[in-house]
Amino acid sequence: MKSDYYFKFEDLKVYQKAIEFGEQVNRQIENFPSHETYKLGSQFIRAADSIALNIAEGSASTDANFVRYLKMAWDSCHECVAASTKARLRSYITFEVDEQNRKQITEISKMISALIKHLKNKP
């Protein structure tokens, strides 16, 4: 169901993919052991959510400021790689789930990099 209220950043494919990735991570951490609730699980979901949140927050600003927020989103992608690796090493997720996370993070990172390049090269 689509909202009657529209924000331009919601059209960005990278934002849509980041939103979905955050929801995917949220489902994954539901299966983490309870002692990880405020440790790795919390860190992983905050990093995953930060990707979309930074894209949204920076989008209404100047191009230069948007680039700054996109770089923070890109950094959060790398944090998610480390969190996913830790989750796999601790046997909270499978190798296949970690690979799927990495695939999505790679795609989002490339989209962020392309958007940064586009914004920096605008006349």
Total number of domains in the chain? 1
Q: Report yes or no: 51 and 88 within 8 Å, Cβ to Cβ.
A: no
Q: Which of 53, 45, 112 is nearest to 80 (CA)?
A: 45
Q: List the CATH number of the domain containing 49.
A: 1.20.1440.60
Where in the sequence is the domain holding 114, given as residue range(s)?
12-120
27 pLDDT band (50/70/90 cuts)?
very high
Q: For 54-108, what is each residue's pLDDT tens digit?
A: 999 999 999 999 999 999 999 999 999 999 999 999 999 999 999 999 999 999 9
Q: In the predicted model, what is the mean pLDDT of the chain? A: 96
Any domain includes 6: no
CB-neighbour burial class of residue 118 (10 A; exposed 0-12, middle 13-18, buried 19+): exposed
Q: Report yes or no: 108 and 14 within 8 Å, Cβ to Cβ.
A: yes
Q: Is the pLDDT of residue 3 over 90?
A: no
Any domain includes 2: no
Any domain includes 74: yes
pTM beyond 0.75: yes
